[in-house]
Structure 1
Amino acid sequence: MYFNIKEQAGMSIAIDIPKRTLALAQIFGLLPICDIFSKNIQDIKFKFLSIRTLYTTLWFISALTFIALEIYRLSDAEICKWEIGSWFFYVTSLHLAHIYKLFPVNYYSVIWAESTDFAFTFVWNYVDLFIMVMSLSISTKFKMINQRLMSFKGRIIPNDLWDEIRRHYNIICELNDHVDDLIGSLICVACLSDLYYVCLQILNLATPHPYRINQIYYFVSTIYLIARTFLMCLITSSINDESIKPLAIFRTIPNDGWSQQLQRLSNQIQTKSTALSGRHFFTITRGIIISIAGTIITYELVLIQFDGDKILPGMFRPCDGSGNDTST
Structure 2
Amino acid sequence: FHLPIFAVLIIAQIFALMPVRGISSKYAEDLNFRWFSLRTCYALVVSILFGVNSCFMAAFIMRVTFDFDSVETFVFYCSIFFISAAFFQLARKWPAVLLEWQAVESKLPKLRSEAERAKLAYQIRMIIMIAIGCSAAEHLLSMLSSIYYVNACPVMPNQPIDSYLFLNFSMFFYFVDYTAFYGIIGKIINVLATFAWSFNDIFVMAVSVSLASRFRQLNDSMLREARLPTSVDYWIQSRINFRNLCKLCTVVDDAISLITLLCFSNNLYFICGKILKSLQKKPSASHTAYFWFSLAYLLARTLILSLFSASVNDESKRPLVIFQLVPRRYWSAELKRFSEEVHMDQVALTGMKFFRLTRSVVISVAGTIVTYELILLQFNKADKVNDCYEH
Counterpart position of 1:55? 42
Q: Give deviations 1:135-194, integer Å, cap 9, x for gaps.
A: 112111101101211211322310001100110111000000111122222222221211
Output the CA distance in 2 between the equivalents of 1:34 and 1:210.
47
Q: Corresponding residue for 2:263? A: 190
Q: Does the 8 A contact of 1:86 with 1:310 survive in 2?
A: no
- Displacement after TM superposition at 1:257 (Å): 0.4
Which of 354, 360, 378 matches 1:281?
354
* Counterpart residue identity of residue 50, structure 2: A
Q: Give the residue type in structure 2 aligned to 1:189.
A: L
Could you tell me which residue of structure 1 aligns to residue 94 of structure 2?
none
Shift of 1:15: 2.4
User: CA offsets per residue over residues 84-111 of structure 1, 9 Å max, x none?
Assistant: 56534787985323556745554x4444
- Aligned equivalent of 2:70: 87
Q: Helix, strand or coil for the counterpart of 1:207?
A: coil
SS at match of 1:155: coil
Question: Which residue does 2:96 correspond to in 1?
Answer: none
Contact 1:89 1:312 in 2 (8 A): no
- Secondary structure of the residue aligned to 2:381 is coil
2:248 aligned residue: 175
Could you tell me how far 1:68 is from its partner in structure 2?
4.5
Matching of residue 40 in structure 1 with residue 23 in structure 2? no
CA distance in 1 between partners of 2:213 and 2:63 (Å):
52
2:378 maps to 305
**SS at 1:46 equivalent:** coil
SS in 2 for 1:33: coil
SS of the residue 2:278 aligns to: helix
Change over 3 Å in CA distance of 1:312–1:17 after alignment to 2: farther
Relative distance call for 1:85 and 1:60 in structure 2 (3 A) is: closer
Partner of 1:251: 324
Aligned positions of 1:22-171 closer than 5 A:
22-71=9-58, 73-74=60-61, 77=64, 84=67, 87-88=70-71, 94-98=167-171, 102=176, 105-106=179-180, 108-171=181-244
Q: Does 1:19 align with 2:6?
A: yes
Tell me if structure 2 keeps the 8 A contact 1:153–1:249.
yes
Q: What residue identity is the alignment partner of 1:127?
A: N
- Once residues 84 and 158 of structure 1 are traced to their aligned partners in structure 2, the CA distance between those partners, rounded to angstroms, is 68
Distance 1:40 1:89 in 2: 42
Gaps of 5+ in 1: 1-13, 319-328
Separation in 2 of the partners of 1:310 and 1:74? Answer: 23
Residues in 1 aligned to 2:264 and 2:390: alpha-carbon distance in whole angstroms: 37
Contact 1:90/1:313, CA 8 A, preserved across alignment: no
The amino acid across from 2:234 in the alignment is L
CA contact (8 A) 1:247 1:269 kept: yes
Corresponding position of 2:114? none
Question: Residue 115 of structure 1: CA displacement?
Answer: 1.5
CA distance in 2, matches of 1:245, 1:65: 48
Distance 1:84 1:55 in 2: 34
Q: How far apart, CA to CA, are the structure 1 residues paired with 2:48 and 2:317?
A: 46
SS at 2:3's partner residue?
helix
| 3-state secondary structure, aligned to 1:17 | coil
Q: Verify the 8 A CA contact 2:60 2:171 in the aligned structure 1.
A: yes
Aligned counterpart in structure 1 of residue 337 of structure 2, from 264, 268, 281: 264
Contact in 1 for aligned 2:168/2:187 (Cα 8 Å)? no
Deviation at 1:317, TM superposition (A): 6.6
Provide TM-score, normalisation by structure 2: 0.70
String of CA shifts for 1:29-79, please: whole Å, max 9, x gaps.
11111101222212201011212112223323433443354345447736x
Match of 1:234 among 288, 293, 307: 307
Query: What whole-Å deviation, never above 9, does each CA across 1:188-218 have from its counterpart, x for those lacking one?
Result: 2221211111011000012233444333322
Q: Report which of the two structures shows the higher radius of gyration computed on alpha carbons.
A: 1
2:387 alignment partner in structure 1: 314
Q: Distance in 2 between matches of 1:90 and 1:167?
A: 49
**TM-score with structure 1 setting the length:** 0.82
Deviation at 1:312, TM superposition (A): 6.0
Structure 2 unmatched ranges of 5 or more: 77-145, 147-166
